[in-house]
Structure 1
Amino acid sequence: MVRKLMCVNITSKDSKRLADFYRAIGVPVYVNDEDYDGWFLGNSENEGCVTVWDENKWGPSCAGFITMVFEVDDLEETYEKIISQGIAINPPRTADWGGQELTLKDPDGNIIMFL
């Protein structure tokens, strides 16, 4: 029986750049130890997370792009933080399902959505 989701793996040709981008838009980024060659995106290693690996070392993780959805406390505050980092992004919008969404692409083309 499945106990929990450990992680979702993605790869990047520049994993540090990608980790720095996620840090800049407010996603917690951490590494277990100095010998680890991946970056965890998420709140803690005890919860499911996204792991960014070095594509040059491990090869591509998928044939296309993925969409990551993050829940935030304040969508407008998140938008302002991203703008303050000099990252181009459209303002939050009302989605077809009625809620507010904020979307952008990371440097590798993956879609990031904040709710």
Structure 2
Amino acid sequence: MNLSSIRIITADIKRLVRFYENVTGMPFTWYTDNFAELRTSLGALAIGSTHTLAFFGGDNVASASNNRSVIIEFQVDDVDNKYQQLTNILGEEVVQKPTTMPWGNRSLLFRDPDGNLVNFFTPMTQEAKNRFETKI
């Protein structure tokens, strides 16, 4: 089994896609006006508008801008450099400037326009690098 994607449901899909394109520097593929996806070699970040909830059983199956339990994580080559590039874009949404974590990753935490927590990280220790060695 492989994890295929993480999907964010949003009330403003254009705004959220634009944000993720800006912070990742990667384009999304739009499949419909209500669904876009950023595919990487390991999986995808999908963004669907609240209109897509009808296909999953109705508006009550998910709520836009309501996440407080998931962190969306992207491995980047140099988190400190990425932070410098994004300072103007992220503004007050930075939760934690680049910090080295006990498990060996250096992490930048910020919130997207819907309030979802995002982690850009770079493995720093050899042990951390080994965990991600074959995954990029």
Contact 1:10 1:61 in 2 (8 A): no
Kept in 1, the 8 Å contact 2:34–2:52? The answer is: no
Which of 55, 64, 67 is 1:64 aligned to? 67
Q: Does 1:38 align with 2:35?
A: yes
Post-superposition offset of 1:94: 2.1
1:72, distance to aligned residue in structure 2 (A): 0.2
Q: How many percent of aligned residue pairs carry the same amino acid?
A: 25
Q: Distance in 2 between matches of 1:5 and 1:57?
A: 21
Q: Which has the higher contact order (CA 8 A, sep 6+)?
A: 1
Give the aligned CA root-mean-square deviation in angstroms: 2.4
CA distance in 1, matches of 2:12, 2:30: 19
TM-score, scaled relative to structure 1: 0.77
More strand by share: 2
Q: Distance in 2 between matches of 1:86 and 1:10?
A: 19
Distance 1:101 1:32 in 2: 29
Q: Supply the AA of the counterpart residue of 1:111.
A: L
- Structure 2 unaligned regions, length at least 5: 54-58, 122-136
Aligned-partner SS, 1:11: strand
Count of residues paired in the alignment: 110
1:18 Cα deviation (Å)? Answer: 0.6
Unaligned runs of 5+ residues in structure 1 are none
Structure of higher CA gyration radius: 2
Q: Which has the larger helix fraction?
A: 2
Please give the TM-score of this superposition, normalised by the length of structure 2. 0.66
